[in-house]
Structure formats: C-alpha cells, structure tokens
Structure 1
Amino acid sequence: MTAVQSPIGAHVPVAGGLATGGLKYAAEIGAEAVQVFVSNPRGWAQSAGKPDEDARLAESEVPVYVHAPYLVNVGSPSADTLEKSLGSIRNALKRGREVGALGVVVHTGSAVSQSYDEAMRQIHEHLLPVVEEIPEDGPDLLLEPMAGQGAMLCATVQQLGPYFEALERHPRVGVCLDTCHAFAAGHDLAAERGVAETIDALVETVGAGRLKLIHANDSMDVCGSAKDRHENIGAGHIGEGPFAELLRHPQVAGLPFIIETPGRSADPHRKDIETLKRLRDTE
C-alpha cells in the first residue's frame, strides 16, 4: 500500500487578491498547498475579505492554511495586546472558514515581563474560550513553537505539554512544527536520529495526530542558537537529509510542508519546492 504523499507548498503573496494573486504564485513555483495572511501580518487592522476571492480559494483543490499576524501574543501582560491578540485570532479563524482553510497558525507567544505561570493561566482563561468557539469542521488552531528567545512560552516540543494542558487538550488544537524554530530551540535535526527523536518527543508530549503542518525552513544559524533566521532548503545548518527523513516519518508522512524561505522572486522558492519534491519522491 502506497503512503499518502505530503503536498509541498509555500506561504504565498496575495497581491491582487487571495485567490488571484496567491494561486497564481503557487502555480508559478509549483506549490501543492498554500499558506496566506488574511490581514496585515505586522498590524492589528482586520480585513473583511472579498467574497469572490474567498470562494475561489475555498473551491480550489489546493490545501489552504492561514497564518495569524505576527503581533499576536496571548501571553502578554498588556491588556491592550491581549485584547487585540484575541480579536486577531478570532478574525483569522473566521476568515479561515471563509477561505476553506484547514488550520490557522498562531505563534505560542511570550510571557514578556510577567511570570510563566501567570502567562499560562492567562492562556487558559482567555484563549481556551476562543478555541471552544471553533466549529467541529474547523479550521483547527495550530500552535507554532518559537525559536527560544527571551521569555518565549514554548520553544522545545516538550514545552507544548503545559500549553496543551492550559487549553485542556481541546480536540481543535494542533501543532505546526517549524524546522528552523525547532533547530534553533535545541532539537538537532541534523544529528543521527535527530528527526526521529524530535517527532517521537512531540507525539509523546501532545499525542498522535496532533501534528498537522510542517513549516519547512533550513536555518542560517547553528542548533540551539535561539535565532529565528530561515534559510533555503539545503543551504543552511540543517541540510537536505533531515527533510527527507521528516517526509518519511510515519507521524509526518502525508502532512503538508509549507516553505517560508528567503527570496524576493519566484526562483528560490521554486527551487526549494523542487528540492522537497525530489526528496519526497526519491525512494
């Protein structure tokens, strides 16, 4: 029996419209799945979207994911930031349903100046009600661990444990694993059995089936650097081999891989897509 292959995709620009711009770019680079922003990634303004563009994206055969704005931080001690973060997540989930997204990716955030325990209590009190509003058909809320700088609440896969507990292991909560973040946090994906040990630890922490999406990014910096600097596939300290291992891990096989790699034109992104497809398709 042939295993289901992982779609290889990319975070795509949406100039000209979510479907018009996003799907055109996806076709140009050979992406089989897409991730999009549905509002300004570096601001709080929320976009209502365009019904025709939303419908075209929802009706496409391409798996779609939404990334919430970078400013979102439900662990922040600022009441203003917390309120705006919750509003942004709700909007991303609403817009995600409108565009047919399978998941909405949210950074796990930072405690900033308050204690870890206070931040986790805040997540239980404020983020759990948002998760409970998600319909049974999704989209799922996908937690993305960070690279480990400062007072980050979650960097290693083991740190997902308390986060999941704060959200009462709700069935609509999943994980988006960013390979650059994991490497920066100390998971040596380039070491022998590094990929297997990382995925096995993730499954042991949150359970099988919770990993829903891979952000496939090489790393400009060494393992444990706590620096979130993405590199093109095979050009960084992770290298090509671990991506081939990841594509074949039984807990990962079939999951979409989304690149967020450097490049101001389609060429480097097309090359990264082609590299991952070659690694996927080579026996």
Structure 2
Amino acid sequence: MTPTSLIGGHASVTGGLATGGLKSMADMGAEMIQVFVTNPRGWALTPGKPEEDAKLAESGVVSYIHTPYLVNFGSPNPETLANSIAITRHTLARGVACGARGVVVHTGSAVSQPYEDALRQLHEHLIPLLEEIPDGGPDLLLEPMAGTGAMLCSTVQDLEPYLAALDWHPRAGVCLDTCHAFAAGHDLAAPGGVTETFDALHAIAPGRLKLIHANDSKDVCGAKKDRHENIGAGHIGAQPFGEMMRHPAVAGVPICIETPGKLEKWTEDIALLKKLRDNP
C-alpha cells in the first residue's frame, strides 16, 4: 500500500511552541505542522520553554522547523556566515528537543563571490553541523530557491553540485517548494511537467525528499520571483498538486502550505489538497 502524505501548514506558536502550535494545527485542519522557533527575520537564539518543546515531542505530531530567512551559508560576509552557523546549530538543537523530523534551511546565495568559493564554504561549515546531529534528531532539509540573483541552488539539477559539496551527507535532505521550482523554470503546469520534475529529483537525490512546501505561484513559470499564491489561484493551478501527490517520489512525504492570507484561506488550501489527495 502506498504511504499517504500528511497535509498541513505553517503554525502559529502564540501561547507556546506546543500549546499554540497544536491549537493552530487543529484550527487549520492540518495533519502536520511547520513552525519557527526563533524570529524568522532576526538572529536571536530564542531559548523557548523546555516544557513546551517536550510537550510537542510527546504529542507525536509530525513537525518541522524553518530556520530564519536571513540564513545564508554562501555569504561572503563573515558576520552573516557566523550568524547562520550559530542559528542553524541552535535550531537543530531545538529540533532535537521538540521531536521535529527536519529543520528547513534555504540553500542561499553566493552574493558577490564566485560560485565555487561559496560551495567550498558550504563544505567547510555545513558538514560539521550535519555531523553534530544525533541519532533520532532532525535531518537538515535544503530548500532550493526561486533563482533570483546569485542563488546557489534553484533548479532540481542544481541540487547535484550542492549535495556533492556536502559529500552527499546522509543527514542532508531536500525540501522542495513548488512555487520556487516553478519560478526557477520547472513547468509544473505543463502536461508531464510534474512527472519530469520529480523524476529528475529522484534520479539526482533518491530518497532525500523529506518535505514539500505546496504553494501556487503569482507569476509565470521561469519568472524567478518568489511570490506564493493560494492553491489553484495561481499559474500552477490545482490539478498539478494532485498529480504531484501520486508521483512515487512523493509517497509518504509530508506536504506543508505557506500560502497567503490567514486562517480561513489556509483552511481552504489544506482542504483542497486533501481532496486532491483522497480523490485521484
């Protein structure tokens, strides 16, 4: 029997990581959640409350943590690099405490330095963090970006040199964002586009897809713009998401929305994805 993909969303942690997160999950009709454990736009190493981390772990809920948007292991700025290392290490530790399956990190940009130098930086600074993850701890999930500027990894094909820079470490997984992939040039809306994209991902990184960010796109394919839209309301459309969930590489992989709006819209998006999943 093919494993079913759990469908959920990014949860509010107002009131505590578990208290707020589990309430948000129920309100959205979610089956899994993704959370921030620090300010998504800052560097502060928020300690959280041990009892809340333990409560989330004990709940058995499938959860993921997203690192702050500022993290960039390809940056030539020493301060940005140092902060990226510190907050990723901190987030992985929080992931261990709360029982998260994975910690999502953006694959970053070379900014003003050569691509090869940025990859050497990844090798030097990310591998030690991967080595520190204990047995049973969260995988580090690499999220390719939309392709703007000097991004290190946007297309599925870009994952090959990126993972090679990490020596194909077994704790390095992949979080694929459908809006980012579409923006980078993977035409998920075209006939056969979903199959082509996920076939390529499986060929390059078999078994490494651990999470999907399901987002429609406000912009056309290849626009290199990271602008999420509600499921079915953008240029990808609803049906490719159903096709995606029937691809063998996606079997059992949790799917998390990061769509615009508030609770009403998120509830609608999760309900639509469940319908596409359960009524092929």
Asked if TM exceeds 0.5, the reply is yes
Q: Percent identity?
A: 66
Using the TM superposition, give the Cα deviation of residue 18 of structure 1 relative to its aligned residue in structure 2, in angstroms. 0.8
Which residue pairs with 2:223 in the alignment? 225
Report 1:31-110 matches (<5 A): 31-110=30-109
SS at match of 1:181: helix
SS at match of 2:250: coil
Using the TM superposition, give the Cα deviation of residue 53 of structure 1 relative to its aligned residue in structure 2, in angstroms. 0.8
CA distance in 2 between counterparts of 1:149 and 1:189 reads: 19
CA distance in 1 between counterparts of 2:57 and 2:192 reads: 38
Using the TM superposition, give the Cα deviation of residue 127 of structure 1 relative to its aligned residue in structure 2, in angstroms. 1.1
Between stretches 126-135 and 92-101, larger displacement belongs to: 126-135
- In structure 2, list runs of 5 or more residues that go unmatched: none
Q: Does 1:260 align with 2:254?
A: no
Alignment RMSD:
0.8
CA distance in 2 between counterparts of 1:176 and 1:5 reads: 17
Listed one character per residue, the Cα deviations across residues 116-165 of structure 1 (whole Å, up to 9, x for unaligned) are 00000111111111111112322100000000000000000100111101
Using the TM superposition, give the Cα deviation of residue 205 of structure 1 relative to its aligned residue in structure 2, in angstroms. 1.5
Aligned length: 280
Check conservation: 1:174, 1:212, Cα contact below 8 A: yes
Q: Provide the TM-score with structure 1 as the length reference.
A: 0.98
CA distance in 1 between counterparts of 2:198 and 2:69 reads: 25
CA distance in 1 between counterparts of 2:52 and 2:134 reads: 23
1:247 to 245, 248, 258: 245
Check conservation: 1:138, 1:172, Cα contact below 8 A: no
Check conservation: 2:99, 2:137, Cα contact below 8 A: no
Q: Provide the TM-score with structure 2 as the length reference.
A: 0.99
AA aligned to 1:105 is: V
Listed one character per residue, the Cα deviations across residues 6-62 of structure 1 (whole Å, up to 9, x for unaligned) are 100001111111111111011011000000001010000011110111111111132
Using the TM superposition, give the Cα deviation of residue 65 of structure 1 relative to its aligned residue in structure 2, in angstroms. 0.1
SS at match of 2:248: coil
SS at match of 1:244: helix
- In structure 1, list runs of 5 or more residues that go unmatched: none
Which residue pairs with 1:22 in the alignment? 21
AA aligned to 2:271 is: E
Check conservation: 1:18, 1:53, Cα contact below 8 A: yes
Using the TM superposition, give the Cα deviation of residue 69 of structure 1 relative to its aligned residue in structure 2, in angstroms. 0.6
CA distance in 1 between counterparts of 2:14 and 2:169 reads: 35
